[in-house]
Structure 1
């Protein structure tokens, strides 16, 4: 605004100067015409006219007006009779702008215009524009303060709420009402973030409570067995001592598995892994090979020809962990000598065991932390394996499912989104060619929808 005022002042100054120059041109032409006609020009306020001879003699044309000083440029015009001369001179402390033009009969006419009126106009404009600019700046400042205060008011309320949350650690602190503008969107984002933090805190609290409950059982067993050995001090029969030591080893191993799975559940080990194209058939075969080597159990991997496997978008190591958990779960609940079947169809992978199955009312609950089905209470385990599968799969925008298979046993698995739908560009998934060593054609035990091919 100040810059605009300065530019306006300069523009008005130039305009006044141009007007003064035009006035001098018009007055000089008028005086020359009147002199040529033998007439004396009428007096005009603020203007002085005179003639200058070739010898430099000055004859005032306006009675009572002081003569104008003749600068060298004006004298040259009077002598040569050509061109014109402009100059600023001082007369009695007043500045005049002068214009000298030649006369037809010799000599020159010199017209002077006082700058006093122009200076007065300039000063008045400067004063007015100064006060106008100052008033406009003050008004803009007041309006800006009011508008900015209105805009920042919800920001201050939101900042106050966040300070209270930081101080009190109370994630239930209400946030100010949110509108539809950018501040409202920011408030909505904060609200969603707080909701996520509340869910995370609740999950952590439940995890700690459940973990403390689950850890108490093996710890109590270990402590009881150790105290019994301490009190007996070699007085136990060998078979009793062997049984207590076996209990110690079993419970310690269970405690180790429980702590390991608790750590994995509480800290997402695969959060830094980037999703990419994953071949579920390859993941199933790799997991089956590890289980065969570790347990010696029969694990069949079958593909549905009606719905051939497609690459899915997921984290490779996280998917492998899901497959390992599902296979370990199936091996644990399948009777010795019965096979475990891994079925791959499209973007779905399911593991079937030959155990007691899952009751319809428990098909969702089996994915909860530390949940033990009514039919598997006597089977050792932490109850965290399927919970880990659920967390990993849902983080990759997939779903989990559990049902009772035809002919007995349970079928537990997951579905993941196709890779091409989420990320059309990227490395091709690694595939094992059909007919590779270790594969054979034929229907698997248990069958299924469509035609299945055993790997």
Structure 2
């Protein structure tokens, strides 16, 4: 029988559960059989003792009246004198052995004695009682019939238990097969997906039980994998398109230098070299941002409680030193947020870099923190209403920024990092003086024992340059 790809032979879950059910049933049945056997044995012993007592009463009454009791199958009767002599009352029955205790009853004429003896290989119960005026009566009853009853009951219980176990195993195997059928279908489907790498394969229908919940979880995982693969394919296609332009420019400039070696004017050669350096730097930035976007190098960073105002001031300080631009930072009742600090720092850097790039040289850039919201405002061309969602897509260029250099990946990195931490991004036109306002909102997080918040004093509404 062919096995589904990816499924290893071995003991199946169905076999394991069936074995557990049969083992539990066997234990329960064995316990019930032992208790029943003991109960039946006690009942048989009670009946034997009652039969012995009845026979003793009959024999004792008749012997005391001077009569001979009639013989009874499986029983023997005799009279024991105080001297130890025996007079058998049932000549056809076996001779009952006389013990010291039975002789004591005959001599004292008091009490009674019950004992078990073996006569000719057969177990007997012997009851001795005194007679009025001396001597004693001894009555023996064979246990052979009781032993047959015990053996028959034992064999019947054993056979019944074995049949019940076989039936239990059969029913368990059948019922578990029906119960585990959705699991097998799901396993076959996932094995087929693993072998064919076809993420569009439909999973079996999901029920309302735990198996259905598992199927829905697999479906969600497949959806996430499809989305991830589609994003990777789109990233590769977009990246190949974006890389082609700077590579073509670099190659053309290099070929021009090669063909015009020694014949180009110094100013032309300088212009070509400048183009090569500019395009190479742009290519380097593009490749670096592509790698960062594709790999998310901060994925393994643990989220902690972060002070947005502190990160904003640090980012503004770095960009002031790097660009010489005026960058203001204001904060109104900032709240701690839970995020990956280095990834969040990268997001703020990208927002500031975008604002510096699109703003005229002599205009300031404003960074504002309010609660869990951080926004960066520039004085650039602004964002068209139709572009406000699309600016966070990879390689997207708005209609007002087509001529501005850049990779088009900065805001895509912001979007992916912020949404990974449970936040949202936004982009809109500034209310006055033109420009755009771009930023994000993260969920709040109070300080906890394992995520201490380190804050630096920043007065409400403070402004630094």
TM-score of the superposed pair, with normalisation by structure 1: 0.89
TM-aligned CA distance change 1:72 to 1:359, over 3 Å: same
Mapped partners of 2:312, 2:67: distance in 1: 120
Q: In structure 2, what is the Cα distance between the partners aligned to 1:394 and 1:315?
A: 12
Q: Secondary structure at the match of 1:376?
A: coil
- For 1:65, the equivalent position in structure 2 comes to 93
1:413-441 Cα shifts (integer Å, max 9, x gaps):
00011113xx8654442221136xxxxx9
Aligned equivalents of 1:286, 1:129: Cα separation in 2: 85
Separation in 1, partners of 2:329, 2:280:
33
Task: Write the mapping of 1:212-361 to structure 2, written as runs, cut at 5 A.
Answer: 212-304=240-332, 308-361=333-386
1:162 to 167, 182, 190: 190
- Give the distance between the partners of 1:51 and 1:264, measured in 2 at CA: 112
Match of 2:456? Answer: 432
Task: Let me know the Cα RMSD of the aligned residues.
Answer: 2.2
Q: Given the alignment, which residue of 436, 449, 463 partners 1:454? A: 463
Query: What's the CA shift for 1:115?
Result: 1.0
Instruction: Give 3-state SS (helix, strand or coil) of 1:349's partner.
Output: strand
- The alignment's TM-score, normalised by the length of structure 2, stands at 0.88
C-alpha displacement of 1:44? 3.7
Matches within 5 A, 1:71-150: 71-79=99-107, 81=109, 84-150=112-178
Q: Which runs of 5+ in 2 are unaligned?
A: 1-25
- Name the SS of the counterpart of 2:462 in structure 1: strand
TM-superposed deviation, 1:76? 4.3
Check whether the contact 1:71–1:87 (CA below 8 A) recurs between aligned residues: no
Residue 394 of structure 2 corresponds to 369
Residue 73 of structure 1 deviates from its aligned partner by 4.1
8 Å CA contact 1:344, 1:350 repeated in 2: yes
| 1:445 paired residue number | none
Count how many residue pairs are aligned between Structure 1 and Structure 2.
435
Q: Deviation of residue 62 (structure 1)? A: 3.1
Out of 416, 426, 434, the position equivalent to 2:442 is 416
Q: State the Cα distance separating 1:25 from its structure 2 match.
A: 4.1
Structure 1 unaligned residues grouped into runs of 5+: 436-440, 442-451
**In 1: Cα distance, 2:253 partner to 2:181 partner:** 66
* Distance (whole Å) between structure 2 residues aligned to residue 234 and residue 109 of structure 1: 146
Which residue of 1 is the match for residue 230 of structure 2? Answer: 202
Distance 1:20 1:377, change over 3 A: same
C-alpha distance in 2 between matches for 1:207 and 1:299:
33
Q: Is the aligned partner of 1:189 residue 2:213?
A: no
